[in-house]
Amino acid sequence: MKKLRKSSHQKMLAGVCGGVAEYLGIDVTIVRIIWAIFGLFAFTGVILYIVAALIMPKDTEANWSDF
């Protein structure tokens, strides 16, 4: 079963967009562009990102390339 978590691999700020992209199985760039559009035209994108960053759990999968 897939779970929505912040990504530890596709991370720029908090890993929210990377986690959403991994969950949906799409490229992270597409998610970031869509999120940026919501952030520019409706301030709700920024608020949703902050809320998601606080609520979403971290990805617990350890990757040796991170060390």
What are the pLDDT digits (tens) for 4-57?
888 777 777 888 888 888 889 999 999 889 888 888 877 777 888 888 888 888
Residues in the chain: 67
Bridge partners for 6 per DSSP = 58
Indicate whether 67 pLDDT > 60: no
Bridge partners for 58 per DSSP = 6
pTM, entire model: 0.71
